[in-house]
């Protein structure tokens, strides 16, 4: 009986020691409760009207203020060349002389005919005057003879005028054999050599004799998109750069604008006058123009990230009592971070999602 009780006590004692050892060796089963993170909130902004100063960077091109391709007006051969590529010429300066023996002979014949007709008219005119003077004595010359002399005189006068016109026309054509510069500038191209055949049509007329450009005065040509048409005006200053001088900025004023939209580009043709007295710039250079626009009237300006452009259209997502509502809009001007928007349903003071996306559907919770 004592042995049974003793073994029972020992068993209980060992079980207590084992439980105590496990409780000391094992890690605590009590873990700190993880705090639940709050759901991320969707940032919104309050719609308001404001002016939008902005600028537009757009490609542009420099062209000569005056440029002309000089062709020969008559078929001829090059006799002398007085200018070459790079020649700086003055207005009226002789660039080349041409020769056309047939034309010279034609002018000589016209002049001879004119001089001959002058002599004929002078003779008939003198005869007519003598007959008229003699007819003043009664019975000397009949009235019919006076009329015949007058008719002969008038006929010779008409032929004289025709010969004179033919001679002047031939002389004018002969003047085309001397090629002169129509304005001051620089010869940028020469396409003929001495002795070359040139003409107003046919094989000798494919290329111009010279190309003349004015370089001290250039045009900067840009095409302004339709959305910016109402924000530009004459005499606005436009700054531009060219690749040849990347660290230098040039400026010019808007001098001319077409006033109509190009049917393909939907943009307006704008020209600026550029003074180039130092000849640093050249026609044909591609420039990057920066057109600055004044703020103008106030309109709704929103963050660029708030505008969603999807297959459904362009819209903003309005925060309507914690739920999303797509509001269709039309975009205006843009900057790197802002967009001008228009809609008849936009109201100042309403809230819109700052960073909207296509996944925000009508009625979905904004939380």
- Range of lowest pLDDT (100-109, 171-180, 189-198, 289-298): 289-298
For residues 20 and 249, the answer to whether their CB atoms sit within 8 Å is no
Checking if the pLDDT of 296 tops 70, the result is: no
The verdict on residue 272 lying in a domain is yes
Q: Based on the domain organization, do 308 and 200 belong to the same domain?
A: no
Domain around 84? 67-100+177-213
Instruction: Say yes or no to pLDDT of 171 above 90.
Output: no
**Together in a domain, 197 and 262:** no
Residues contacting residue 299 through CB under 8 Å, at least 6 positions apart: 49, 50, 51, 52, 332, 340, 341, 342
Shared domain check, 159 and 140: yes
- Which of 19-28, 95-104, 245-254, 259-268 has maximum average pLDDT? 245-254
* Three-state secondary-structure class, residue 9: helix
32 pLDDT above the threshold of 80: no
Same domain flag for 107 and 165: yes
In 138-284, which residue ranges form alpha helices assigned H by DSSP?
Answer: 143-175
Tell me how far apart the alpha carbons of residues 97 and 93 are, in angstroms, rounded to a whole number: 11
Question: Looking at the structure, do residues 192 and 240 belong to the same domain, yes or no?
Answer: no
| Position with higher pLDDT, 32 vs 290 | 290
Is 29 within the bounds of a domain?
no
Q: What is the pTM of this model?
A: 0.59
Q: Tell me, what's the pLDDT at 82?
A: 94
- Look at residue 294 in the predicted model and tell me its pLDDT: 63
Structure tokens at 236: 């606005």
Report the CATH number at residue 128: 1.10.287
Question: Is the domain of 92 the same as that of 113?
Answer: no
Domain of residue 183, CATH code: 2.40.50.100
pLDDT > 90: what percent of the chain?
Answer: 42
Average pLDDT, rounded, for the chain: 84
Distance CA 193, CA 77 (A): 10
- In sequence order, the 6+-apart residues with CB closer than 8 A to the CB of 313 are 328
**Does residue 62 belong to any structural domain of this protein?**
no
The yes-or-no verdict on residue 26 having pLDDT over 70 is: no
Residues 260 and 321 in one domain: no
Is residue 251 one of the residues assigned to a domain?
yes
Q: How many domains in the chain?
A: 4
Q: Is the same domain home to 208 and 264?
A: no
Q: Do 252 and 282 fall within a single domain?
A: yes
Please check whether residue 167 lies inside any domain of the structure.
yes
Sheet with 49-50: strands ordered across: 49-50, 299-303, 338-342, 330-334
CA 344 to chain centre: 34
Q: How far is 318 from 366, CA to CA, in rounded Å?
A: 10
Alpha helix positions (H), the chain: 2-25, 101-134, 143-175
Task: Judge whether 113 lies within some domain.
Answer: yes
pLDDT score of 181: 94
Q: Concatenated DSSP letters for 222-250?
A: EEEEGGGGGG--TT-EEEEEETTEEEEEE
The answer to whether position 261 is within a domain reads yes
**Is the confidence at residue 93, as pLDDT, over 90?**
yes
Tens-place pLDDT, residues 126-169: 888 888 888 888 878 888 888 888 898 899 899 989 988 888 88
Query: Which pLDDT band holds residue 68 (cuts at 50, 70, 90)?
Result: very high
| 314 plus 345 within the same structural domain | yes
pLDDT of residue 130: 87
Burial code (b: 16+ CB inside 10 Å, e: under 16) for 33-47 equals eeeeeeeeebebeeb
**How much is the pLDDT for 63?**
95
Both 111 and 235 in one domain: the answer is no
- Residue 53, in any domain of the structure: no
Of 293, 316, 345, which residue sits at a domain end? 293
pLDDT digits (tens, 9 = 90+) for 181-202: 999 999 999 999 999 988 877 6
274 and 316 in a single domain? The answer is no
CATH code: domain of residue 289: 2.40.30.170
Which CATH number is 317's domain given? Answer: 2.40.420.20
- For residue 50 the two structure tokens come to 């404001």
Q: Which residue has the higher pLDDT, 1 or 69?
A: 69
Q: Is the pLDDT of residue 76 over 80?
A: yes
- Side-chain half-sphere exposure of 111, counting CA atoms within 13 A: 10
Note the pLDDT of residue 202: 65
């Amino acid at each position: 009986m004592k042995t049974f009780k003793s073994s029972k006590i020992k068993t209980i004692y060992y079980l207590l020691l084992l439980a105590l050892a496990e409780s000391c060796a094992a890690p605590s089963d009590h873990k700190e409760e993880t705090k639940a993170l709050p759901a991320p909130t969707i940032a919104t902004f309050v719609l308001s009207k404001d002016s939008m100063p902005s600028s537009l960077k757009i490609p542009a091109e420099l062209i000569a203020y005056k440029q002309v391709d000089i062709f020969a007006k008559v078929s001829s051969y090059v006799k002398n060349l007085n200018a070459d590529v790079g020649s700086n010429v003055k207005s009226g300066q002789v660039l080349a002389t041409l020769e056309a023996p047939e034309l010279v002979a034609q002018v000589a014949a016209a002049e001879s005919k004119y001089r001959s007709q002058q002599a004929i008219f002078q003779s008939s005119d003198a005869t007519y005057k003598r007959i008229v003077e003699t007819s003043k004595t009664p019975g000397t010359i009949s009235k019919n003879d006076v009329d015949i002399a007058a008719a002969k005189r008038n006929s010779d006068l008409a032929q004289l005028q025709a010969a004179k016109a033919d001679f002047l026309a031939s002389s004018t054509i002969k003047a085309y054999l001397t090629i002169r510069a129509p304005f001051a500038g620089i010869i940028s191209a020469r396409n003929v050599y001495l002795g070359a055949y040139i003409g107003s049509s046919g094989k000798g007329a494919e290329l111009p004799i010279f190309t003349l450009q004015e370089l001290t005065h250039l045009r900067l040509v840009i095409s302004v998109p339709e959305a910016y048409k109402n924000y530009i005006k004459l005499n606005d200053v436009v700054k531009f750069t060219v690749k040849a001088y990347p660290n230098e900025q040039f400026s010019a004023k808007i001098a001319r604008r077409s006033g109509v939209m190009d049917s393909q580009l939907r943009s307006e043709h704008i020209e600026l006058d550029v003074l180039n007295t130092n000849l640093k710039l050249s026609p044909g250079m591609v420039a990057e123009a920066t057109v600055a626009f004044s703020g103008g009237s106030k309109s709704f300006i929103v963050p660029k990230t708030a505008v969603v452009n999807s297959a459904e259209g362009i819209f903003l997502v309005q925060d309507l009592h914690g739920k999303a509502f797509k509001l269709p809009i039309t975009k205006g001007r843009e900057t790197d971070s802002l967009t001008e928007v228009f809609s008849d349903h936009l109201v100042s003071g309403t809230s819109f999602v700052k960073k909207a996306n296509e996944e925000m559907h009508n009625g979905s919770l904004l939380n």
